[in-house]
Chain A
Amino acid sequence: DSGVTQTPKHLITATGQRVTLRCSPRSGDLSVYWYQQSLDQGLQFLIQYYNGEERAKGNILERFSAQQFPDLHSELNLSSLELGDSALYFCASTSGPGNTIYFGEGSWLTVV
């Protein structure tokens, strides 16, 4: 158990809908990352937050947004969903730069 908690574990939704994925980082970790992993694709960095502030942005679509709340949990919002958005979405956290980044078990999103 990495200590990073993600909900929901599985989600099936229709095209055009909006979903929210939630992440609780490890206790004491201020930095949260979101990654996307599609079938046969590597882990693609989406976005990073540090103590509530956006720190880095990767290949995140405009239809996607994220935030980190004062209690340090984070949410990834995916809207106007398309079939191609079906993937595993991982949250990860770390206590600081260069330290180990620990991953949650992921949220399986299937868009039908």
Chain B
Amino acid sequence: EDQVTQSPEALRLQEGESSSLNCSYTVSGLRGLFWYRQDPGKGPEFLFTLYSAGEEKEKERLKATLTKKESFLHITAPKPEDSATYLCAAANFGNEKLTFGTGTRLTIIP
């Protein structure tokens, strides 16, 4: 069974303090690794898809990377508006559903 584990569960950073969120996955044949951002009471907002080990994608202060066992979401010089829960999800070639981790709740303190 596919498994996705995210760490840490919660992270508090000062504004401008860079850090990384971890997503480790066990998937039989990874089709894609997805990152979403979710604000309280809202739907997950798509950020990135990574398809193969070594791939990297960037968007503003966020950069996602992928290895054969895990993915990282690097946040550089974060701002308070980056506060949210960041979700990682994996899809395998056997089916089309996403298996989600439980997320990292990120708080950026001004």
Chain A positions near chain B (C-beta within 8 angstroms): 2, 4, 31, 33, 35, 41-43, 45, 48, 50, 55-56, 58, 88, 90, 94, 97-98, 100-106, 108
B69 shortest CB reach to chain A, Å: 20
A58 shortest CB reach to chain B, Å: 7
A50-B96 Cα distance, complex, nearest whole Å: 10
Q: Given that A90-B43, A103-B43, A103-B44 are contacting pairs, would A98 and B91 also be in contact in the complex, using a CB cutoff of 8 Å?
A: yes
In-complex Cβ contact of A100 among B41, B46, B103 (8 A): B46
**Known pairs A43-B87, A55-B96, A98-B31. 14 more at Cβ < 8 A?**
A41-B102, A42-B102, A42-B103, A45-B97, A45-B98, A45-B99, A48-B97, A56-B97, A88-B41, A94-B96, A100-B46, A105-B42, A106-B41, A106-B42
A103-B34 Cα distance, complex, nearest whole Å: 13
| Residues on the A chain within 8 Å of B44, using CB | 43, 90, 103
Output the nearest chain B residue to A44 by Cβ-Cβ distance: B100
Are A33 and B43 closer than 8 Å at their CB atoms? no
In-complex Cβ contact of B96 among A48, A103, A108 (8 A): A48
| Residues on the A chain within 8 Å of B89, using CB | 43
Question: Does B45 make an interface contact (CB < 8 A)?
Answer: yes
Are B96 and A97 closer than 8 Å at their CB atoms? yes
| Residues on the B chain within 8 Å of A31, using CB | 96
Most buried by B among A4, A98, A105: A98
A103-B89 Cα distance, complex, nearest whole Å: 13
A41-B44 Cα distance, complex, nearest whole Å: 14
| Residues on the A chain within 8 Å of B100, using CB | 35, 42-43
Output the nearest chain A residue to B95 by Cβ-Cβ distance: A56
Are B43 and A2 closer than 8 Å at their CB atoms? yes
Output the nearest chain B residue to A105 by Cβ-Cβ distance: B43
Closest 3 CB pairs of A and B: A103-B43, A42-B102, A43-B100
Output the nearest chain A residue to B103 by Cβ-Cβ distance: A42
> What are 15 A-B contacts with C-beta separation under 8 Å?
A2-B46, A42-B101, A43-B87, A43-B89, A43-B100, A55-B95, A56-B95, A97-B96, A102-B46, A103-B44, A103-B45, A104-B43, A105-B42, A106-B43, A108-B41
